[in-house]
Amino acid sequence: MQVLSVASECAPLIKTGGLADVTGALPGALAKVGVRMRTLLPGYPAVMAALSEPEAVHRFDDLFGGPAILLQAHAAGLDLLVIDAPHLFGRPGSPYQGPDGRDWPDNPERFAALSWVGAHVAAHGAGGWRPQVLHGHDWQAGFTTEYLRAMGTQDVRSVLTIHNIAFTGATDPARIPALHLDPWRFHPEGYEFYGAVSALKAGLVGADALTTVSPSYAEELMTPEFGMGLGGLMRQRRDALHGILNGIDDAAWNPATDPAIIPFATPAAKAPAKAALQAELGLPPAEGPLCVIVSRMTHQKGLDLVLETLPTLLDMGGQLAVLGSGDPGLEQAFLQAAADPMVAVRIGYDEAFSHRLIAGGDAILVPSRFEPCGLTQMYGLRYGTVPVVALTGGLADTVINASPAGLAQGVATGIQFSPVTAGALRNALIRLGVLYRDTGTWSRLQANAMAHPVGWDRSAQAYADLYAFLTDR
């Protein structure tokens, strides 16, 4: 089975969040079940620097405003196709924003170019290779099916994965000519979305199959609360929608072999990692749990609720360590909270430090208002760092609540709370404190967490089965 993955980021080459972790881990997981996946990426500076001996397989005289070369290469264990288009991707900053933190104004054209090249490879091949399935990720790959339609290609099946439906890639319809779109497709059954052009809507309408990153999120997408204006379309496409839970790279996230931490294989051996983290952050020993957060700082992530309930954690002798960036107001609020000697905050992102943070913490807080899948709670499970999570999306699918029944049956792996309010989180923190003081129960909770399967095996097989179904059909 030959599959082309079209993505705007892919770890370890370029990463802003969980999307990159998924697109980076999926090819290796799929290879174990007979699927060869190549990943098409924009040629950002970091990606171009990672390539060794790239081979040109196609040239575009004018790719949305300038010439471009499609390169075939290998890097970080991945089979890659990379779009060398400096006028679109040769820029400082993140994949989506400049150094000033503002979105690039030509993002619609930049990721339309990614979709265009994806459709071109599906239609015509590249370097003698052609996929049977085109698998796009989020709005940045949404136009691939529109372009496939325009190219008259009917023998390649298409899948679009929704990692977060909140980002629709919407833009002004005045851009239709610049985006090389068929103007007659600008209608509610096409890529029109409340008067705007939406790349995500195009993919949701046009793909043969839709997947999202957890079964619970698939159900939530069909509701007005979580569908973000697309719930009706999701209900229409119910039969094409599949909730396939994300996994994590359990080789990169392995507490027994992780080079970023003091290794450990059992909960009883976590103590040195915690002590090292406290020393690094200047936190003293404490009676209560050390809670950690690794997150984008946005309203979605519910971090304002953490600030509101922080006194509860501190009053019971707990500590908080945070790594993240995003909303300037939240960044400033957390920096102000760090005036307390029991709170440590780092603004930004550091991959190695994120490993030390999760390894050294007693609990990881994920109070998201909505969460398609979430990966940090799975990293926490892997490292025996007990997740405290909102009951939503993938958080509900990956954490077994420490309810009386869950504890009695010996299966609990974390704490869930609902609704997503400060009051409910406060109660969850109180429950955390009670469990933490009961050393026997706490050790069992940690052991259950570390034993919980969080890898890609089952999910990779589900994707392989979906590809096979589509191609057989």
Residues tagged in the binding site annotation: 15
Q: Which of 361, 367, 322 is nearest to 340 (CA)?
A: 322
263 prior amide bond cis, ω within 30: no
Rounded Cα distance between 398 and 414, Å, is: 9
Which residue matches tokens 């809670």?
A: 291
All residues at 6 or more sequence positions from 30 whose CB lies less than 8 Å from its CB, including other chains: 3, 36, 37, 460, 463, 464
First-to-last alpha carbon distance for the chain, in angstroms, is 14
3-state helix, strand, coil in the chain (%, to 5): 40, 20, 35
Known binding-site residues for ADP-alpha-D-glucose equal: 15
CA distance 170 to 291: 37
Neighbours of 351 (CB within 10 A): 11
Among candidates 277, 297, 276, 279, which has minimal Cα distance to 348? 297
Q: Are 417 and 365 a contacting pair, CB within 8 Å?
A: no
Contact at 8 Å (CB) between 263 and 256?
yes
Which residues, listed in sequence order, are joined to residue 366 by a DSSP beta bridge? 389
What is the token pair recorded at 131?
């996929």
DSSP string for residues in 423-438: HHHHHHHHHHHHHHHS
**Angle between helix 144-151 and helix 199-206 axes, rounded to 10 deg:** 60
> Whole-angstrom Cα distance, residue 182 to residue 180?
7
Cβ 344 vs Cβ 282: under 8 Å: yes
Of 467, 407, 397, give the one whose Cα is nearest residue 435.
Answer: 407
**Which position has the token pair 């979430």?**
374
The closest of 265, 264, 292, 288 to 277, measured between CA atoms, is 292
Neighbours of 150 (CB within 10 A): 16
